[in-house]
A and B are shown apart, each in its own frame.
Chain A
Amino acid sequence: MFPTFLIGLREGLEASLVIGILVAYLVKSGHADRLRQIWAGVGLAIGISLAFGALLQFTSAELSFEAQEMFGGFASLLAVAFVTWMVFWMRRTARFLKTELHGRIDTALTLGPLALALTAFVAVGREGLETALFLWAAVQSTEQTASPITGAVLGLLAAVALGWLLYKRAVNLNLRTFFTWTGVGLVVVAAGVFSYGVHDLQEARLLPGLNTLAFDVSSTIPPSSWYGTLLKGIVNFSPKTSVLEAVAWVSYVVPVLYLFFRPSSAPAPAAVSRQTASV
């Protein structure tokens, strides 16, 4: 039961944290009414993943290994694009929040909601298919034992609970701290997703160098240990990282964090950015 608990936790954690931050952001900026867009994206992603997974597991339909990896790879890249967009969108809104021009937040949000649902959708859907396949396999074995499915469901629930805890904690932070930490957190998460997407595309043989490793610490940090699970679940840390994955990670994190902390050229928001950078 414990091994499947860890898988459930790992597969669900990242999406849960991203959704937790999204929800906290909307609640904090006084747009709790927009939450249903998030839940629509989440619900749709879960529904489609489960349906597609059931199709593959219970019928003769099958997806080639390359197609599955390509799905994971491109969905990851899409998720990175949306989460990055979200980070900068929140950063821009943060300036308006600081100047307390609430009318202008609304302007910013008119564009947001459509993309909010999509962000929620790709954040959940990215690992959705793989998780659904894993869940259905556990369901299929319930004739012999219910332990795998129990573990998996508890793991996913634990992931959701951690996302909820993050939301509770984040919603009580002051605005400046909230935007800085959630922003940096999302950038690190997105970098992990980016490098994971690169890994999937390497496995699909769309990108070369799967076996050219930057480092291999899988004996120190076994992927099936609880700490390996948390590292993988939160920042997508792979104990066996290829050179291309490492390059992808660094070349995402460095410029994006630079842009995130860069003092804005506009006069009023500049003050905010300077304060932000000093946190």
Chain B
Amino acid sequence: MRASLLLTLPLVAALTACGGSDGSTGSNDGGGEIAIAAGDTTCEVAKTTLASGKHTFDVKNEGKDVTEVYVYGRSSSGSDGDFDKVIGEVENIAPQTSREFPVELSGGEYEVACKPGQTGDGIRTKLTVTGEAAAKDDDAAYDREVEVTAKEYAFTGLEGFTAKVGEKIEFKLENTGTMQHELEILGPDGKDVGEVGPTDPGKDGEVILELKTAGTYTYLCGIGDHASRGMQGTFTVS
């Protein structure tokens, strides 16, 4: 008896550990819960335009039959694929009960399908998700992206750029010139905040920076005498 328990426990630990590491327990959801009222012939999704990110659907079965709800994406990339790639689902929703399921949605079109009787293609509702692909974790998350082009000897893309204190900006540098460039950013105190390191001609790179203090920031190319030749400028964070 004791031996059998000892043998069983590692398995249990492995199974739960597997669930734990794969499952997300974070609460950085995009817009709270989205209610779905599923009837025998109806499927009402409370919100059909969503921001990209993690959403939790809360399904209430108001019908008499057992139902299941799917979120489908397109099977192939492009705009002509069928909606048959399962993004998320919850099965066995008994009449009068509610079930929740989390879904990670990146920008694009989706369909919600309620399947009363757990059969058929279901009652479909279109979902439109705005924004870029969902950020995978907090470190990579950013509020906004700004595209900067570097060419001998000037930057374009940062004219008139301003930001708010605390904003996380992804600076994306594209080198369209014929020699290496970089994008260095200095805070109001003149200290280095971060940089997109040396980038070869035709290549691009990016850095995500949180602009923590207000003031005037300086950006420049730190290679050779590029800055003094014109590859520098400022922007304001307020």
Q: Tell me, rounded to whole Å, the shortest Cβ–Cβ distance linking A33 to chain B.
A: 11
Task: Say if the beta carbon of B150 comes within 8 Å of chain A.
Answer: no
Task: Name, among A65, A117, A203, A218, the residue most crowded by chain B CB atoms within 10 Å (CB to CB).
Answer: A65
- Min Cβ gap A140→B in Å is 7
Q: Complex Cα distance A113/B6, Å? A: 13
What's the minimum C-beta distance from B96 to chain A, rounded to whole angstroms? 5
Interface set of A (CB-CB < 8 Å, partner B):
3-4, 6-7, 11, 36-37, 40-41, 44, 48, 52, 60-68, 70-71, 74-75, 113-114, 116-118, 121, 125, 130, 133-134, 137-138, 140-141, 144-145, 147-148, 151-152, 203, 205, 210-211, 218-219, 222-224, 239-240
Complex Cα–Cα for A70 and B19 (A): 9
Q: Is the CB of A134 within 8 A of B92?
A: yes
- Interface extent on B, as a size class? 35 or more
Q: Residue of B at shortest CB range from A225?
A: B117
- A151's nearest neighbour on chain B, judged by CB, is B94
Q: Mark B182-216, 1 if CB is under 8 A from A, else 0.
A: 00000000000000000000000000000000000
Q: Which of B24, B91, B94, B97 contacts A130 (CB 8 A)?
A: B91
* Residues on the B chain within 8 Å of A211, using CB: 75, 84
Q: Which residues of A contact B98 (CB under 8 A)?
A: 137, 140-141
Residues in A whose Cβ lies below 8 Å from that of B64: 3
Taking a contact as CB atoms under 8 Å apart, the answer to whether A64 and B91 are in contact is: no
Q: Which of A4, A36, A70, A203 contacts B89 (CB 8 A)?
A: A203
B 94-151 contacts with A by CB, 8 A: 94-104, 117-120
Residue of A nearest to B120 (CB): A218
Residue B93 CB within 8 A of the other chain: yes
Pick 12 A–B contacts, CB within 8 A, sort by A. A4-B95, A40-B4, A52-B19, A63-B23, A64-B102, A67-B22, A71-B18, A114-B7, A140-B98, A205-B86, A210-B86, A224-B119
Q: Pick from B9-17, B152-160, B229-237 the stretch touching chain A.
A: B9-17
B12 and A152 contact, CB distance less than 8 A: no
- The reply to whether B97 and A64 contact each other, CB–CB distance below 8 Å, is no
Given contacts A140-B97, A148-B96, contact A117 B27 (CB under 8 A): no
**Chain B residues touching A, majority SS:** mixed
Chain B residues 31-70 with CB under 8 Å of chain A are 56, 64-66
B96→A71 contact, CB < 8 A: no
By a CB distance below 8 angstroms, the chain A residues around B65 are 3, 224
Q: Which residues of chain B come closer than 8 Å to A151, judged between CB atoms?
A: 94
B25–A4 contact, CB under 8 A?
no
B88 within 8 A of A: yes
Contact of A64 among B24, B92, B119 (CB under 8 A): B24
Contact status A145-B96, CB under 8 Å: yes
In the bound complex, residues from chain A placing their C-beta under 8 Å from that of B18 are 67, 70-71, 74
B7 to chain A, nearest CB (A): 5
Of B23, B66, B96, the residue contacting A62 (CB under 8 A) is B23
Closest-by-CB residue of A relative to B25 is: A61
Can you list the 5 inter-chain pairs with the closest CB atoms, starting with the nearest? A67-B22, A117-B4, A63-B23, A65-B88, A4-B94
Complex-state Cα separation, A211 to B83, whole angstroms = 11
User: How far, in whole Å, are A140 and B94 apart by their CA atoms in the complex?
Assistant: 12
A118 near B7 (CB under 8 angstroms)?
yes
Cβ-defined contact, B4 with A37, below 8 A:
yes
**Chain B residue with Cβ nearest A222:** B119
Closest B residue by C-beta to A44: B8
